[in-house]
Amino acid sequence: MAWLHTWTGLVVGWMLFFMFVTGTAGYFHYEITRWMEPERPLVATQPAADRTELISLGLTRLEARAPQAAYWEIVLPHDSPATRLWQDFEIRWEDLPEPGHDHGARGNEILDPVTGAPLEKGAVRDTGGGELLYEMHYRLHYMDLLLAYYLVGICTLLMFIAIITGVITHKKIFKDFFTFRPGKGQRSWLDAHNVISVMALPFFIMITYSGLVFFDTTYMPAGMAAIYGSDRESRDRYFDDLYAENHDHQAASRPDAPLAPMLASADQAWGDHQVQSVFIQHETGKAPRVEIRRIDLDQLRWYDWEKKVFNANTGEAMASGPYGTPTSQTRQIITALHEGRFAGPWLRWLYFAAGLLGCAMIATGLVLWTVKRRKHQTLPGTDSINMRLIEALNVATIAGLPLGVAGYFWANRLLPVDIADRANWEANVLFLLWGEAFLYACFRDIRKAWVEILWLAAAAFALIPLLNLLTTDKHLGASLPAGEWVLAGFDLTMLGLGAAFAWMGIKVRRRWLAHENPGKPARTATSLEEPV
């Protein structure tokens, strides 16, 4: 039983660390993808084009390409705050569904703003990008999706319980926030763990609870299953009711009413250059409608675009209610808080910092766990094999997993562009490095393993800008003068991460290796504590 408790507790810790590392990266997943596709041009050059001209080109192309569509959308070229990237002139559509289905196939094309002809997608290397990295935090990898969801759910629930009970039992929560006693072994680890946990407590409560809400009817299906049923059709029916969605559409077609007055009315309400796209849809039994959608702002409900709705036949303005029902909106706000899609630059960095604090909280907790038990172990040299394994897994996860993430970026630059299954191999490199760090930590003096893998991670991150310089033309020397902050920001963040790991390496080395008696061979003891 104790064995079970020990191992489940620890496995949760390691998995949560993995989820926090990959999830935190997700707050910049568009930026990471951009960096991992260096073939894309530095600054998109778009000739200024007339808006109504563009929309008319888009409509012509949509009529030819998607004559039987549930909706059409023409996206005007703009600087997108949602992705922090340039958005090209693009058309999107969804085909009418086959009988018995809710949705048809979706499509999109980037169009030439002058001719309206579809542009070939620029050839970019095959990469999983930031998307794959951030998806790992709830889909894991190499694993059945449903099994991954359940494992992630159990870890999340246990973390949620740990936080709530931590708050309840922690009587001196405020005082401990200001308490840090360095250089005192276990006491210092505990202080560090407390300070970090309290600092970002609201974030941890929000992120765990909202993480559960994403999969609400997967984890607690009782209500839906008993009242609607649990087969696919019943679930679809439930979600349609919840989101007040109607799937019965007529094929989208060119509006009879002129679009220019609609655009003018939007301009009048929002100011110039605020129109993001024109959306056309015809629900069966209702008048066909045109939506003029505004560029995403920092509103919390980012899926609920600010928009102007018009009758496509008459051009009359129509009322536009918010998307979904009150409860579904509540649910969407909870999940929006998790994803932080509404966050502007500063809030986004705050999310990122809170995520890193989460990594630090779990890491200090794992280390504290071993330090505490180390005290009760007998003399050095009689390490139980369990303890040795746990310490090795701690090194491999806390220092080795970040090394793997750095390796993911190295693989993106170094793997030959034409190998088969390239995107998968980038991910394989991440897990291979993680695994190798574990094997290394198993056979190496654990203190040396800590120092060496921390330094290796520091070098792996810090050298990425150099690697970028040697392998692409999108390096700091090019991105900084061009003001491409997405690319430059990535390289600079890698330098920052390299510095952080170097600092940890120096700290650990100073404590353990500097005082070593030069005449004596290194002890094989694995204590993280320095006898003061």
Partner 1 sequence: MTSLLNRFCSDSARYRWAVFSRVTAAFVGGYVLSSLILLLLSLTLPLPQAEAIAASTMLGFILYTLIIIWAFSIKRLSTVWLGLLISSLVCAPLVWWLMPGGGA
- Shortest distance, position 324 Cβ to partner 1, whole Å: 10
**What's the helix, strand, coil split of the chain in %, to 5?**
60, 10, 35
Of the pair 119, 333, the CB lying nearest partner 1 is at: 333
Euclidean distance between CA atoms 330 and 351, whole angstroms? 21
Provide the phi-psi class of 405: left if phi over 0, else alpha when psi is between -120 and 50, else beta.
Answer: alpha
- Report the SS3 class of residue 484: coil
Counting Cα atoms < 13 Å in the Cβ hemisphere of 109 gives 19
Of the pair 326, 483, the CB lying nearest partner 1 is at: 326
Of the pair 12, 462, the CB lying nearest partner 1 is at: 12
- Shortest distance, position 225 Cβ to partner 1, whole Å: 9
Could you give the angle at the alpha carbon of 386 between the alpha carbons of 191 and 392, nearest 5°? 65
Nearest Cα to Cα of residue 505 among 444, 458, 470? 458
- Shortest distance, position 168 Cβ to partner 1, whole Å: 7
Of the pair 10, 406, the CB lying nearest partner 1 is at: 10
- Shortest distance, position 202 Cβ to partner 1, whole Å: 16
Q: Which amino acid is at 267?
A: D
Nearest Cα to Cα of residue 133 among 408, 331, 389, 437? 408
- Shortest distance, position 326 Cβ to partner 1, whole Å: 7
Euclidean distance between CA atoms 467 and 459, whole angstroms? 11
Say if CB 270 and CB 294 are below 8 A apart. Answer: yes
Of the pair 229, 258, the CB lying nearest partner 1 is at: 229
Nearest Cα to Cα of residue 282 among 324, 307, 310? 310
Task: Using alpha carbons, list the distances in angstroms from residue 122 to 119, 311, 345, 414.
Answer: 8, 37, 28, 20
- Report the SS3 class of residue 70: strand
Of the pair 274, 329, the CB lying nearest partner 1 is at: 329
Nearest Cα to Cα of residue 261 among 305, 308, 321, 322? 308
- Shortest distance, position 325 Cβ to partner 1, whole Å: 5
- Shortest distance, position 21 Cβ to partner 1, whole Å: 24
- Shortest distance, position 136 Cβ to partner 1, whole Å: 23
Q: Which amino acid is at 449?
A: A
Q: Which residues contact 176 (CB under 8 A, 6 or more apart)?
A: 170, 191, 194, 195, 198
Of the pair 243, 431, the CB lying nearest partner 1 is at: 243
Task: Using alpha carbons, list the distances in angstroms from residue 222 to 214, 217, 235.
Answer: 16, 8, 12
Of the pair 239, 485, the CB lying nearest partner 1 is at: 239
- Shortest distance, position 299 Cβ to partner 1, whole Å: 21
Of the pair 27, 214, the CB lying nearest partner 1 is at: 214
- Shortest distance, position 238 Cβ to partner 1, whole Å: 6
Contacts to partner 1 by CB under 8 A: 1-2, 5, 157, 160-161, 164-165, 168, 209, 212-213, 216-217, 219-220, 222-224, 226-228, 238-239, 241-242, 325-328, 330-331, 334
Of the pair 85, 242, the CB lying nearest partner 1 is at: 242
- Shortest distance, position 93 Cβ to partner 1, whole Å: 28
Euclidean distance between CA atoms 50 and 57, whole angstroms? 11
Of the pair 241, 530, the CB lying nearest partner 1 is at: 241
Element (H, E) at 486: helix 485-512
Say if CB 290 and CB 310 are below 8 A apart. Answer: yes
DSSP 107: E
